[in-house]
Structure 1
């Protein structure tokens, strides 16, 4: 649902034939940051309805897809109804697939809610240029992926590990992780940073107030959705989300947040799948974490700051006029929010 490099952004009006290509922007079109772009339709109720429908939609998808995963596991004899009633079940490739697909569905759901409620076409959720900028992702990945691989590798050197036993279940779990975890990570970013944060940002005229409020609310929802009971894990999920909010604002789109999220999840989950430890990733009760979580928190903040700096070095567009929206008019200089710093 996004445009590729070299193609016009969906929904962007073509210039009139008589206008020269170098026609300057009208004087009232102020540059906005990515997180503030839904200010194009600032009615408070739009953001409220968008967030509520996103959460409700995700819950429905989780119940439906999760239920299907359980049905398949019961039908294949992975566990019994007695095991299910006693709660003594484990994460299987089918339930992992159901979890990932329900989160991946946030991607199109967030885009459609933005289009319906704000009148902004789906492509404009990817970046301030109205498309997912693949070349920019490639340049950033040359740094982010190797650094994260070193971090994960060192982490496993100092952690207890199990022997790798390759069987059908392990192969299936690894395939589910590799094929669907990128979609799951992208879905979370389009939902949290793409729709929730920008919906909150649409309520405020001042850019920095909109950004801070969006970071706090989207970060709180993001952390709560992980159902962690350990204070260190709760802090980690909030810092992770807040860092990606900074990356989205600093780079003008969701490419950097999606890349960081995908890299983190895939590189952490593949080794756990190989060692049949995937269940441990979802153990988030009190006592499962500690001060060592400051290391990944620091890495997340560093990745966000580096992405912002790297975007500037590579000439990536980070601000733009408000996106075209159904029935919306560009604000005049007297009512538009001031340019972001």
Structure 2
């Protein structure tokens, strides 16, 4: 057959029935499919352990996650008084305990001794390095210069202001400057405003003093009523600069200690609850007056006045304590205290009597009589200013 010629299709052969397939080999893990027994009936469901739809109880309240100890939020170092707390109650915080005011007062007393002694020793060393001489104390005077003795005393007292604030922060665990005001800082604008009534206090005090001396010329003279004359500008300028620069710090330190720390320490013992047994005791210690009276008595004992002069300085301290609570801070007390001390030191320095700057003794009763109207004037003027100004009285 020619290769180019088409090839006819092949014809299929006759159909033959295939033989029977051999049986499959046995299944390695059991009978082949189709030979499994019918499944057994499932057991009926038992009772649910709780009502349908009620989630299982959680070990803690919703919204209060519990963190591991290393991730738990730390407690703040200081805790301020609650909002709306008056000045004399600023030490009554969540961290208050009966022992904190006592321990703080003892710590403060020990620190005062340490700081004043340290300043005196450091001053003595610097004085020796500059002058090349070792001073020989004579009585209460360490150095022969009255100006240097006054400067040393003012620096020793002025250094106590930050230490009082540090004691409140360390022992009572409250804000550092919570001793200053209800805003935990010194309100400088308000302090400067209080200097205006302070000038009026000085002017009124001088006028009434002259008037009383004219009416009662035979009264015993006070310790600063001896004569004196102008020493000249050259001898006055150095003591004046020392007094003007350092007296405000000394006055502020005494206010922080007596009108600040002591009033707040005593008032911290007043309970927060207004009801309970012995209600009169609770009411008494919740008021500022126990702290004001105790702080004023301590202020008098820290000075060397006697007789009517003690009564006068006690009323002075009580009035400043009341104004401190009334205005919510120490600014009114610092202003009057500083201006009164400036006048008390500048006048002897101008008349050549600075040697007796630390002489404190008695005074005639006319001093108390003439000073009462001055104190009333200053208190009324400060309260009037506080009403016209947005002065915070509570925290």
Structure 1 length normalisation: TM-score? 0.74
Using the alignment, how far apart are the partners of 1:78 and 1:233 within structure 2? 39
Counterpart of 2:325? 249
1:186 to 240, 252, 263: 252
Question: How many angstroms does 1:65 deviate by?
Answer: 3.0
SS of residue paired to 2:363: coil
1:270 to 346, 357, 363: 346
Q: How does 1:217-256 map to 2 (within 5 A)?
A: 217-228=294-305, 230-256=306-332
Counterpart of 1:258? 334
Counterpart of 2:367? 293
Question: How many angstroms does 1:298 deviate by?
Answer: 4.2
Query: For residues 33 and 151 of structure 1, do their structure 2 counterparts lie closer, same or farther at Cα, with a shift above 3 Å needed?
Result: same
Using the alignment, how far apart are the partners of 1:43 and 1:250 within structure 2? 26
Using the alignment, how far apart are the partners of 1:73 and 1:244 within structure 2? 40
Where do 4+ consecutive residues of structure 1 move more than 6 Å? 77-80, 85-91
Query: For residues 97 and 85 of structure 1, do their structure 2 counterparts lie closer, same or farther at Cα, with a shift above 3 Å needed?
Result: closer
Q: How does 1:156-235 map to 2 (within 5 A)?
A: 159-166=225-232, 170-205=236-271, 206=282, 208-210=284-286, 211-228=288-305, 230-235=306-311
Counterpart of 1:31? 84
Question: How many angstroms does 1:208 deviate by?
Answer: 4.8
Query: For residues 73 and 181 of structure 1, do their structure 2 counterparts lie closer, same or farther at Cα, with a shift above 3 Å needed?
Result: farther
Using the alignment, how far apart are the partners of 1:319 and 1:87 within structure 2? 44
Cα pair 1:33 1:318 within 8 Å, conserved: yes
Cα pair 1:252 1:319 within 8 Å, conserved: yes
Deviates more, 1:155-164 or 1:202-211: 155-164
Q: Deviation string for 1:86-124 (max 9, x for gaps)?
A: 989876111111111111112101100001111112232
Deviates more, 1:199-208 or 1:180-189: 199-208
Counterpart of 1:136? 190
Cα pair 1:123 1:130 within 8 Å, conserved: yes
SS of residue paired to 1:204: coil
Point out where structure 2 has 5 or more consecutive residues left out of the alignment. 1-77, 214-224, 272-281
Corresponding residue pairs, total: 292
User: Considering only CA atoms, is the larger Rg found in Structure 1 or Structure 2?
Assistant: 2
Point out where structure 1 has 5 or more consecutive residues left out of the alignment. 1-10, 14-27, 321-341
Cα pair 1:115 1:122 within 8 Å, conserved: yes
Q: How does 1:41-56 map to 2 (within 5 A)?
A: 41-56=95-110
Query: For residues 164 and 199 of structure 1, do their structure 2 counterparts lie closer, same or farther at Cα, with a shift above 3 Å needed?
Result: same
Using the alignment, how far apart are the partners of 2:387 and 2:138 within structure 1? 52
SS of residue paired to 2:101: helix
Using the alignment, how far apart are the partners of 1:66 and 1:218 within structure 2? 27
Over the residues paired in the alignment, what is the CA RMSD in angstroms? 3.3
Query: For residues 195 and 271 of structure 1, do their structure 2 counterparts lie closer, same or farther at Cα, with a shift above 3 Å needed?
Result: same
Using the alignment, how far apart are the partners of 1:148 and 1:207 within structure 2? 37
Structure 2 length normalisation: TM-score? 0.65
The answer as to 2:166 corresponding to 1:92 is no
Query: For residues 45 and 65 of structure 1, do their structure 2 counterparts lie closer, same or farther at Cα, with a shift above 3 Å needed?
Result: same
Question: How many angstroms does 1:166 deviate by?
Answer: 3.0
Question: How many angstroms does 1:308 deviate by?
Answer: 2.7
Cα pair 1:149 1:267 within 8 Å, conserved: no
Higher relative contact order (CA 8 A, sep 6+): 1
Question: How many angstroms does 1:315 deviate by?
Answer: 3.0
